[in-house]
Structure 1
Amino acid sequence: MAMLRFDSPAASEITHPVVYAARRQWLKQVAGGAAGSVLAAWAGREALATEKPGKRPALVGTSSSVPGAITMDKATRYEDATSYNNFYEFGTRKSDPARYADTLVTDPWAIEIEGLVKRPFKLGLDDLLKLSPMQERIYRLRCVEGWSMVIPWVGYSLSALIGRAEPLGSAKFVELVSLADAQQMPGVRSSVLDWPYTEVLRLDEAMHPLALLAFGMYGEVLPKQNGAPVRLVVPWKYGFKSAKSIVKLRFVEPQPRSTWGRAAPTEYGFYANVNPNVDHPRWSQATERRIGEDGLFTRRRKTLMFNGYEPQVGQLYAGMDLQRHF
């Protein structure tokens, strides 16, 4: 099997200067043998929802290079990426998560592993952070409404956690369950969706190295409105597949129905692979607009098959009718 290749642009080309300075400081601490204590201190720190650039807590565990990056596209501004979000647990408007997510308590936190595994277990945030080396990966993420972002995510491949779970041979799918706490999340008090929010991947999709378990973005702690303290990022699929604030992984044999699969199955297919040839029933998916590029004369971009990751993930769907299995 051919090894995947990832282009690695220089960090100075895509990273906010504040982030770069924070990363350099962490490297100095590593050199001084302080990495363990720094990691422990970060694990207990709240990820504030609306902090201004220059005051955001730095995420330790990242490197000064960008291993795993596979796009040379210009990164979306941090301010745009953290103020225009889908996170229905905090409201259905794009501005609601940044406005209301400060109520989310991210410490303590744990992910529970259950279902078809050799030994069910629960892993706290401290252990999750240390499970695999952190990398910064520059991924496109596209939403079905016709907009997209390019974000430097910080985390590691979901396969590291799945490997720890040791799924049984009968496990075919992994269901990811998000937190649903009406006390912390005002949107959960509504009936707009069937809570808790759940998403599902085929096991081979979840094991693909591009499927990321993310703890940060732009070299820093993941903001609450973006899915703190830990979320999924599946860059070749539409954004709703990337579950936020994950509390459980459940391994199953029959294909379960996801939240949007129950709410609107004709509009949000199980696979949700980005495909310009399959329109949403209410709008075209052939073009997109990047957040932050909303000028009057800004041309829309052509949507790329699998969001531009076809060379890496296309083989997962060989022989499938991608218009039927959308």
Structure 2
Amino acid sequence: MKYSLKDFDVTDEKLFLNRRQFIRAGVAAGLSLSAFPTLAALNFRANPNYQPNLKLTDSEHALNYNNFYELGTDKSDPPRYAHLLKTDNWQVRVEGLCAKPQIFDMDDLLKIEQEERIYRFRCVEGWSMVVPWIGFPLSKLLNKVQPDSSAKYVEFISILDRENLPGQKFNVLNWPYREGLRMDEAMHPLTIMATGLYGKELENQNGAPIRLVVPWKYGFKSAKSIVTIRLTDKMPTSSWMESAPSEYGFYSNVNPNVPHPRWSQAKERPLGSFFKKKTLIFNGYADDVAGLYKDMDLKKYY
């Protein structure tokens, strides 16, 4: 099934693997990205499987209203201080319980994207967005290192750069930022390593050059600017679990039936909209992921 995108055109399949070529022209006149003229446009194709019929969030909202505590705790801090995130010669170490631990540079990671996809994923944190991530399934990367059968969890560790990143000069969290997934969650095809957004390479404020996207979980579960991925047999303690264990659990699945201790999660407010809407269980992806949690008490394991 071919998907018609309103905000940009899909590049011919023959051109996927040329994605590192910089196309300095705009992707389409409808995108308001003139403030970021140096970013490379990406070649990609639409994913025929996961295409919720949702209206895309305006790019100006997604690029200028961000959670990225390494760059500051205010929603306007990440775009303001994005230039302080240094992404040159980026590497991601994949280690732990695997047969072939490796260090991947960005060119290595982009080669894994043999079938690039665009997803309309929703991130919900009281406010919500529908944004077109470009990336590849995390499973493709993990398969490269051949996980051991004893590996039950995957831990993600983000950049630590106290010298340059203003948010890390304050101990609002125990840096570096850490997140975790169960192995079956990590291997699910909806779980991706994102390298692009709105048809271009990731902006720094959105977690460049590579970040995790898990669309059925709350947005804070998606670690940004990842430098280490570790396979382990023990459940990782995420940064938010460590910081506020009474409020944030390991799973962090979108569940409108489990209120946050300080607010209801039954409704969400899409960015750019005045009105709230009903929050969907698993963020609308129940048909795809509910089986991962069969027989689990979703109020206990929040």
Give the structure-2-normalised TM-score: 0.92
Q: What is the deviation of 1:176? A: 0.5
Deviation at 1:285, TM superposition (A): 0.3
Structure 1 residue 40 displacement after superposition: 5.6
CA deviation after TM superposition for structure 1 residue 106, in Å: 1.3
Give 2:109's aligned residue.
Answer: 128
- Distance in 1 between the 2:290 and 2:231 partners? 24
Give the letter for the 2:54 counterpart. D
AA at the equivalent of 2:64: S
Q: For the aligned residues, what is the CA RMSD? A: 2.1
Provide Cα deviations, 1:119-164, integer angstroms capped at 9, x if missing partner. Answer: 2110000010111221111111111xx1110000000111100111
Residue matched to 1:241: 221
The total of aligned residue pairs comes to 293
Secondary structure of 2:122's counterpart equals: strand
| Deviation (angstroms), 1:52 | 2.3
User: How far apart are the structure 2 equivalents of 1:85 and 1:319?
Assistant: 35
Could you tell me how far apart the structure 2 residues matched to 1:8 and 1:83 are?
A: 31
- 1:11 matched residue in structure 2: 5
Trace 1:1-326 onto structure 2 (pairs within 5 A): 9-12=3-6, 15=7, 19-20=8-9, 24=11, 27=12, 30=15, 36=18, 39=20, 52=34, 55=37, 57-63=39-45, 65-132=46-113, 133-143=115-125, 146-294=126-274, 298=275, 300-326=276-302
Which residue matches 2:27?
Answer: none
Superposition deviation, residue 66 in structure 1: 4.4
> Aligned AA for 1:59?
A
CA deviation after TM superposition for structure 1 residue 208, in Å: 0.2
1:112 is aligned with what amino acid? R
Q: CA deviation at 1:41?
A: 5.3
Q: What is the SS of the residue equivalent to 1:214?
A: strand
Deviations 1:213-238 (A, max 9, x none): 10001111111000000000000000
When structure 1 is superposed on structure 2, of 266-275 and 181-190 the one drifting more is 181-190
Structure 2 residue identity aligned to 1:136 = I
- Which amino acid counterpart does residue 79 of structure 1 have in structure 2? E
Structure 1 unaligned runs (5+)? 1-6, 43-49
User: Contact 1:67/1:137 (CA < 8 Å) preserved in 2?
Assistant: no
For structure 2, the 5+ residue unaligned runs are: 24-31
Q: Distance in 1 between matches of 2:81 and 2:58?
A: 21
Q: Percent identity?
A: 47
State the 1:67 CA deviation. Answer: 3.2
Q: Show structure 1 runs of 4+ deviating over 6 A.
A: none
Give the match's secondary structure for 1:284.
coil
Distance in 1, Cα, partners of 2:145 & 2:116: 19
